[in-house]
Amino acid sequence: MSGPQTIQLPQHRDLYYGGQWHVPKGGYVDTWNPATGECLGPCAEANAADVDDAVKAAQAAFVEWSRTKPSERAALMRKVATVLREHASELALLDAANCGNPVAEMTRDVQAAAAQFDFFAGLVTEIKGDTIPMGEGVVNMSVREPYGVVGRIVAYNHPLMFTAAKSAAPLAAGNTVVMKPPVQAPLSAYRWMELIDGILPPGVLNIVSGGTECGSALSAHPDVPFVSLIGSVPTGRAVARAGAERLKRITLELGGKNACIVYPDADLDRAAAGAVQGMNFTWCGQSCGSTSRLFVHESIHDEVVARMLEKIRHYRPGLPTDPATTMGAIISQSQLDKIMKYIELGKEEGATLVYGGKRPDDPALSKGFFIEPTVFTNVTADMRIANEEIFGPVLSVIKWNDEETMLAQVNAVEYGLTGAVFTRDLANAHRAASRIQAGFIWVNNAGPHFLGTSYGGYKQSGIGRDESIEELLSYTQGKNINITL
């Protein structure tokens, strides 16, 4: 195990808007290290009045930012990307301590955030319109313009990556942003703002941390025409209801109960590895994209499960700040309790627990919210563990023998974010990929995102697409201009 590392805590724990730090009217609440139970100190809790102040600052900054040349916006964004890369280790360690995910994974998160700042900076000249022929003496053209103030609310499983990366597209499009980082893990957002303070004009990027009142106020604010959320389905519905009152533009990346399908002709070792990788055990399955339902053909079921259980041994809960740790902590006691209830429910429903299902025995982890990777076999599609999003390291293995029945079961849940298919047969791959009701499909792979390809869900898994030019253009609205010469 590596030696102790120094965590650089932020000097500021207040709200950041208008280019300055502000004492919150809503007060402060403590934030915690979920791996040790240690209090990491107070953090700002924005109320509706705080949100209103932040929105006013963003609104005031929008006039000049929207008029800034796209190339100049891009240059500033690239400076932000450089700062992220220069401080990747520091920010990753802070996230590991505050959200419980392993520091090695959090380092990749910071790099991913920097990559998205560079990516969207490079696309600013693609915010194009068209000219439409109208005949002699008339010029007709369409243009794309920013909305104004964008409110973004993000989840706790990737605190810095979501806070930073999800501000990139709206900024590149000329909007100003009021960002609400996760209430459970806001520290990296504060530190990031300390590091980039002065790069962007005051009011262009603002941070308001807080709980339900903060998120509700941002969603409902009359001067925020666009709200975007990464979170749960119930939260997404609440944001959509608030937005509907003002006919706001809404994008949502919500939950998932994603399927990984293994055909009898699949490369079994690759399939077993993909089933494990797709579960995102590194961050305890706390991922909306996790392939938490594994459909394995009955002819290869036992062999795939055996190989998979061997590969899962790589993931052992450990202290997130240790670079050697392969699996971190659950974010909170309440989330741990929820996961444990589902594990008990799986047993009660008749599924067979074949791996994990309990808290680790290591005394060094006794004060944290840890749970072992957990696998159930003999799961049927009607069980709750096969239908409801657990958001934890619980994998349900479902045996199948008829493709039509299996695909119907895959699509029976209300979610539709990701899906994975393992087969050597190109016809199987195309057929399954076309039939799965989800927005992001892997074939002979599971887990990774690919910058430049659109990521988003079907059904209750969300509205809109991210990580692509589609995300950038979604933060613009069309205008037609007809000029009679």
pLDDT one digit per residue (tens) for the chain, 485 residues: 344 578 999 999 999 999 999 999 999 999 999 999 999 999 999 999 999 999 999 999 999 999 999 999 999 999 999 999 999 999 999 999 999 999 999 999 999 999 999 999 999 999 999 999 999 999 999 999 999 999 999 999 999 999 999 999 999 999 999 999 999 999 999 999 999 999 999 999 999 999 999 999 999 999 999 999 999 999 999 999 999 999 999 999 999 999 999 999 999 999 999 999 999 999 999 999 999 999 999 999 999 999 999 999 999 999 999 999 999 999 999 999 999 999 999 999 999 999 999 999 999 999 999 999 999 999 999 999 999 999 999 999 999 999 999 999 999 999 999 999 999 999 999 999 999 999 999 999 999 999 999 999 999 999 999 999 999 999 999 999 999 99
Q: Which entry of 45, 99, 105, 253 is annotated as an active-site residue?
A: 253
Question: What's the gap between Cα 114 and its chain centre?
Answer: 15
Establish how many alpha carbons lie within 13 A of residue 457's alpha carbon, considering only the half-sphere containing its beta carbon: 29
Examine the residue annotation and report whether 45 is marked as an active-site residue of this protein.
no
Instruction: Name beta bridge partners: 470.
Output: none
Q: Which entry of 214, 260, 288, 389 is annotated as an active-site residue?
A: 288
Do 159 and 130 contact (CB within 8 A), yes or no? no
Q: Alpha helices, DSSP H only, in 325-454?
A: 333-349, 403-410, 426-435
317: phi then psi, degrees, rounded to nearest 5: -55, 140
Nearest Cα neighbor of 298 from 267, 269, 262, 349 is 262
Examine the residue annotation and report whether 288 is marked as an active-site residue of this protein.
yes
Reduced to 3 states (helix: H, G, I; strand: E, B; else coil), residue 483 is strand
d(CA 236, CA 343): 26
d(CA 462, CA 240): 11
First-to-last C-alpha distance (Å) of the chain: 74
**Which amino acid, 372?**
E
For residue 41, what pLDDT is reported?
97
For residue 6, what pLDDT is reported?
86
d(CA 157, CA 389): 15
